[in-house]
Amino acid sequence: MEIAYLNSPIGSLKVQGDTQGVTAITFMDDNHPETTVIPEVLEDAVRQLKEYFKKERTTFSFLQNPQGTDFQKKVWEELREIPFGKTTTYLDMAKQLGDPKVIRAAASANGRNPISIAIPCHRVIGSDGALTGYAGGLHRKQWLLEHESPVTQGTLF
């Protein structure tokens, strides 16, 4: 398993993977020095993440290999369908999966997403529009949604 650290506007990211693909992108609570020599198997992911943070990329094409149950993988595939700059609700996601009763299971799978940002679990919000649960912290979820928003908030003064 190869590891690279990337500094981003919302903290350090740990990128892990091997020849089968990226297995995890995790927010670090402490600032970790950025990796200067990126392992070859992680080069695409790191480059694409840097482009995303510079607003030069809206989709990810690097090889991904998240580990989880079949249901979790189904949820994560559904998350990939949420367009950049858009959000969905946990209930709508459960309906997309074919059964509104799986809302809690879908929310749980969403929270176990190992590949932050590229599998955009931050784009799922509560039915009332509230920012609910995000493993990376609600401040990061808010930042990511604002970063992807087509509307730029101006200053009043």
Query: What is d(CA 41, CA 147) in angstroms, rounded to the nearest whole number?
Result: 27
**Which residue of the set 13, 93, 94, 121 is catalytic?**
121
Residue 131 annotated among the catalytic residues of the structure: no
Token digits of residue 45: 């992911």
At residue 75's C-alpha, the angle toward residues 70 and 81, to 5°, is 130
DSSP, collapsed to helix, strand or coil, labels residue 106 as helix
Task: Return the number of other C-beta atoms located less than 10 Å from residue 4's C-beta.
Answer: 22
Query: What is d(CA 104, CA 125) in angstroms, rounded to the nearest whole number?
Result: 13
Query: What is d(CA 97, CA 74) in angstroms, rounded to the nearest whole number?
Result: 8
Q: Which residues participate in catalysis according to the annotation? A: 121
